A and B are shown apart, each in its own frame.
Chain A
Amino acid sequence: MNKTLRNMFLGLVVFLLSGPLVVVGGVSLNAKKRLFFPPEGVSLRWYVELLTENSWLIPVKNSLAIAFTSSLLALSIALPLAYFLWRYRVFYARALFALGISPFILPPVITALGFLSFWVTIGLYGQMMATMISHAIFFVTLPLVTISLGFESIDHEIVEAAETMGADSGTVFRTVIFPMVRPYMISGYAFAFVLSLNEYIVAYMVAGFTVETLPIKIFNSLRYGYTPVMASVTVVFVLLAALIFGTIGRFGDLPKLLGALNPEEK
């Protein structure tokens, strides 16, 4: 009896979780602009428009460029920070970690407003670099959390063994620690990348009128007359995310990356 209840519960959750995915897919393939149920006509024209219209290609390019660089920058800040906090014991460790996760746990409007005042004062308001740096700081939390998780899983004995055999701290980092933390760096980067692609409010406040990112374009098109192209672009990105995480799941250890410990085989 419990098994069926559990399966019904899971089934309901799956139904609700995948609802929007199905809808977005349906809109992207719909022949007409407005969606009715049952749907009428299948067409790839929205995908074609996505690939040929500059008004969509430019925001896509902007978003990809911003996501790529800001996530890299976020990673560059998170890695030494996580390493330092794991390797050494300092009385300000908690404060430092709190600083690292603050940009993300504050309501985004507050961080966005802070960035707005900052960039206006500096004079870089409206520049893509401002968006890149703002996103990097905003998303530092993600690689910080995943990499800290990775450091947590390192067996201290292995590091001690390497040292006993004569490796200095640089070699230990390069040959022992870094390879063990690398998958967590990649997953942290992937998270920051995906979230940066979808981030609206910081990008809008910092350079929204000059640097049009994808979410800004989608929200505008939603307000002023929607076009199914935004569904096509979403489908592409969801498939991309599914591909990336599916690959990690197939070749890596996704449960472990997300925090599970090494279990015995179930």
Chain B
Amino acid sequence: MIGEKPKGVRAHLTVVYPALMLAIFFIVPFGLMAAVSFFHRQPGGFYVTGFELTNYINLYTALFGRTLLFSLLLAGLSAAVCVSIGFPFTYFITRMKRRAQVVWLVLLMSVLSLSEVIVGFAWSLLLSRTAGLSNLFVWLGLIARPVAWYPGFAALLFGICYLAFPYTVLVLYPPLSRLDPALPEAALTLGASPLRTFFTVVVGSLRNAIVAAFVMVFVFTLGAYLLPQILGRPRHWTLSVLITDAAIYQTNMPLAAAMAIFFMGVSLALVVLTMMIGKGKKVKAI
């Protein structure tokens, strides 16, 4: 019964409503935006239907190139940091007793419920000179005077990793909790050190999950809009900021649309590339 081909109108009826909703409210807006990217922008903010490549040509500026590159690098770095910390973290969580796991998961869910703007606000306080962590360090005698650690690239990276961390854990949780405990045990019994076991057995058997988590955080971070403005300097502003700026403040929808389409193309290409590299060779059965 399960997994058979749908027969008749009634069977297909289930999927009509979701497909229709997604078609009308997602595909159409998307197509519309793609079309707008070819429209002609009139001075004063309006745009008329047309077909021209001006907007795409106008992308070819130093600002756009630099911002695109920065956004990609920031995303890649945050993904690397999040997964490097999140993977062992989630692994430890999944090895705990059920009860302990629930406590950790509830903590993570509570952190997840913090909005991007609040995360930015909280970290701007924590990294400020007057009320931040540096005061704690002064009190502990580690540094001489309190110092402001924001705005700056490190602050931004920190904030983004913080924001993406609960999602990283949630994505890694299912595969890690399903990892057969017998596998690392077997490696340990055969004489491998715990560190070696971790890297060769645990990381090795979950490569796909790690790649998936990396891609997820990468894409998630690409969308950062508020944090770069709160925790970073203008040179740290990402493409999302630039696009919104063009759309709302410069009322240049066609340009914004062109930037968005280009942005999407580049991210999609990188995602596909990462997944191809990540999947690797298939292991031959013995």
Contact = CB atoms under 8 A, between A and B. Distances in A.
Query: Do these two chains really belong together in a complex?
Result: yes
A90 B85 contact: no
A83 interface: yes
Contacts of B267: 106-107
Contact of A159 (B2, B88, B92): B2
B65 to A, nearest CB: 18
Contacts, number: 271
Contact of B110 (A35, A117, A215, A241): A241
A142 B117 CA distance: 21
Interface string B124-139: 0110001111011000
Nearest to A255: B101
Interface stretch (B13-21, B53-61, B149-157, B274-282): B13-21
Interface stretch (A16-24, A43-51, A53-61, A178-186): A16-24
Q: How large is the interface on A (under 10, 10 to 19, 20 to 34, 35 or more residues)?
A: 35 or more
B98 A117 contact: no
B222 to A, nearest CB: 5
B164 interface: no
Contacts of B50: none
A247 to B, nearest CB: 10
Interface residues of B, number: 90
Nearest to A81: B18
B192 interface: no
Contact of A108 (B94, B111, B135, B223): B223
A109 B101 CA distance: 35
A42 to B, nearest CB: 15
A219 B110 contact: no
Given A17-B165, A37-B135, A2 B194 contact: yes
A64 interface: no
Given A194-B113, A258-B170, 13 more contacts: A23-B122, A86-B2, A88-B5, A99-B26, A117-B253, A118-B25, A163-B1, A201-B223, A214-B115, A241-B109, A242-B106, A242-B113, A261-B177
